[in-house]
A and B are shown apart, each in its own frame.
Chain A
Amino acid sequence: MRDASPAKAYALHIGVIALLFALNFVLPDYHQGLFARIMALAVFAMGYNLLFGYVGLLSLGHAMFFSAGLYGAGLTVYHLGWGVPEAFLAGVACGALLALVIGLLALRTSGVAFMIVTMMFAQVFYLLILYFAAWTGGDQGLVIQQASRVIAIGDASLDLTDPTVRYMSALALFAVVLLITLAVVRSRFGRVLVAIRENEERTKMLGYDTVANKLAAVVASGAICAASGAAYALLFGYVGSSFAGVQYSILPLLWVLLGGAATTLGPLIGTLFMYYVTDITSGFTSAYLLIVGVALILLVLFAPRGIMGSIRERWLGWLP
């Protein structure tokens, strides 16, 4: 069904990236900043979607991968004085390594036990951040100074605190991850993941090593989420324990459910939508969590496929 139109799918995604590029020159300052944040966090949602949407593994602990990237990048800059590119890679590596360890352990369980185990490992990670407050800054977090957020390329330098540079860096990361996800889900590997989601026993019987495939998906998902965290630390200059809390494990789930699980563009749509809903409503109510709660219940009751999922079902069957 979806094979027929690789050109269409790639054209759509490149169109979305081009649109986001153009928006940089149109958006007012405030919304330009908000969009940069949304794109960085949409990467987090895409990483989550890879595991939840395609493999069907519901993790309640992805905040630990995000914050592994956040702290991996933030602490190396803050304490070791590393440059931005090295710090970013350090963040991604931390996330991938953590995901490998967690994957080896957590994949021994399935279903409800998987959710609880991931939640508990994330809780341990969160408590460790508080316990080592001397290095991590604990509750208060650490602010990364502007001077250490500059990339020097020969004579020129890129200042990540500059709004346009920040927007473009977030967009670059977002575009790369979006195209990678698109390629992955269209690949053989992606199809095996979907097969595992639909019927793990049968996939195993067909000769696929389901455990190895799931582990690969956990590591890929962890690395993408860590990339988002690392970018967030470097672009916005703050690392704090609140990013490791349970709430940041729930948010990507919400964004993905809203945008549409197992759709490539769903995570962006979900993050964008939720950010603007809270932004607009915060004008007249501070009950931000109430909106999150109501949204979760309404989604799971009435639109389990999310925005992009419903569009795919109704009108555009070829949507990846």
Chain B
Amino acid sequence: MHFGPHLLLAALEGLVTSAVLALTALGLSLVFGVMRVVNVAHGEFFMLGAVLAWAVSTAISGHPAIGFVAALVIAPLLVGLVALVAERLVLRRLNYNPEGTIVATIGMLYIIQQLALTFYGPEARPVEPPFSYRILLPWFGYSGYKLSVVAVSAILLVITWLVLTRTKIGLIMRATQYDRETAQAFGIPVERVYAGVFAVGAMLAAIAAVLIVPISQAHYLMGQDPLLLSFIVVIIGGLGSLRGTVVAAVLIGLSDGIISMFFSPTLAKIIATLVVAMVLVFRPQGLFGTTSR
């Protein structure tokens, strides 16, 4: 293949990464933006989504599409439930103290990871894609499923944006984010908003995982990279800024796809991580964010 098609392939792969990353990072960003909680267990919710997707789709026989659709509905709901329980039992009792919640979510990370290892095992297992249509480009064929992942993610992002900016629920969430105490004084059930946001954040990660699992297989350690990348995206995009998160996800996903096609992936990660750390040091509000309150 020549350089042009090669670059196109890298860009397409990068776009798929971006789409999934944007969903995952959006979950992290929502939780941080509204609750001021850094959820270190976010990557494990992602992993849990993928593992549950495998469980659901193998339990259901018949056409792979049926199993996949069932997984796309059931897995995120279960993950949301787990997150809700964790929020009730742990985060609320800590009164959302930033340092306490970091330590507690580190604890959750280990618990979820270990339980996945115990009950799911160390193997990587595939989930069959719902359809296997290949789009023929002049230079190579490309998986139609991968492109549909991009489309579905884009739709979900638009829906989230609409909910945040155009509905009452979104208004309540933004009010809580802006000023927790005043919101409470106006009769907004802040604790219920927090619980809901934490569950939705985890569900977004789980949806992203179900979408990616036909491409990359489910494994109990698969949560680590998305966690780090989501952190990077959220920081570059500005903590708590939705638009910034999406732009940063596309930026990171594309550059990750292109850089790791031409250079060593370890070197790509080193550079990306170092750049992000420097952004945090010298421009803590992120590249697109405004100064946080």
**A interface residue numbers (CB < 8 A to B):** 58, 60, 105-106, 108-109, 111-113, 115-117, 120-121, 123-124, 127-128, 130-131, 250, 253, 257, 287-290, 292-297, 299-301, 304
Residues of chain B contacted by A123 (CB below 8 angstroms): 228, 273
Among A108, A250, A289, the residue within 8 A (CB) of B114 is: A289
A-B contact pairs, 17 of them (CB 8 A): A106-B281, A108-B282, A109-B280, A117-B277, A117-B280, A117-B281, A120-B277, A128-B270, A131-B270, A287-B114, A287-B117, A292-B107, A296-B106, A297-B111, A299-B103, A300-B103, A301-B90
A131 in contact with B264 given A109-B284, A287-B118 (CB within 8 Å): yes
The answer to whether A112 touches B38, judged by C-beta atoms less than 8 angstroms apart, is yes
**A-chain residues with CB within 8 Å of residue B106 when the two chains form the complex:** 250, 253, 293, 296
Instruction: Output the nearest chain A residue to B232 by Cβ-Cβ distance.
Output: A120
A106 to B277: give the CA distance in the assembly, Å.
9
Contacts of B270 in A (CB 8 A): 124, 127-128, 131
* Chain A residues whose CB sits within 8 angstroms of the CB of B104 once the complex forms: 296-297, 300-301
Digitize B260-290: 1 where CB-to-A-CB distance is under 8 Å, 0 elsewhere: 0000101101100110111011101000000
Interface range on chain B (Cβ under 8 Å from partner): 35 or more
Measured between beta carbons, the chain A residues less than 8 angstroms from B196 are none
Q: Which residue in chain B gives the minimum CB-CB distance to A104?
A: B281
Q: Are A116 and B103 in contact (CB under 8 A)?
A: no
Residue of B nearest to A123 (CB): B273
Q: Please report whether the interface of chain A is mostly helix, strand, loop or mixed according to DSSP.
A: helix
Residues of B within 8 A of A109 (CB): 280-281, 284
Interface residues of chain B: helix, strand, loop or mixed (majority): helix
Excluding A290-B111, A296-B107, A304-B100, 14 further A-B contacts by CB distance (< 8 Å) are A60-B102, A105-B278, A111-B98, A112-B98, A120-B231, A128-B270, A257-B103, A287-B114, A289-B111, A290-B118, A293-B110, A296-B106, A297-B90, A301-B93
Do A124 and B273 touch across chains, with their CB atoms under 8 A apart? yes
Q: How many A-B residue pairs have CB under 8 A?
A: 100
Closest residue of chain A to B227 (Cβ to Cβ) is: A246
Are A116 and B280 within 8 A (Cβ)?
A: yes
Contacting residue for A131 out of B107, B235, B267, CB 8 A: B267
Q: Answer whether A300 and B107 are a contact pair too, CB < 8 Å, given A128-B270, A287-B114.
A: yes
Q: Are B277 and A124 in contact (CB under 8 A)?
A: yes
A120 lies within 8 A of B100 (CB): no
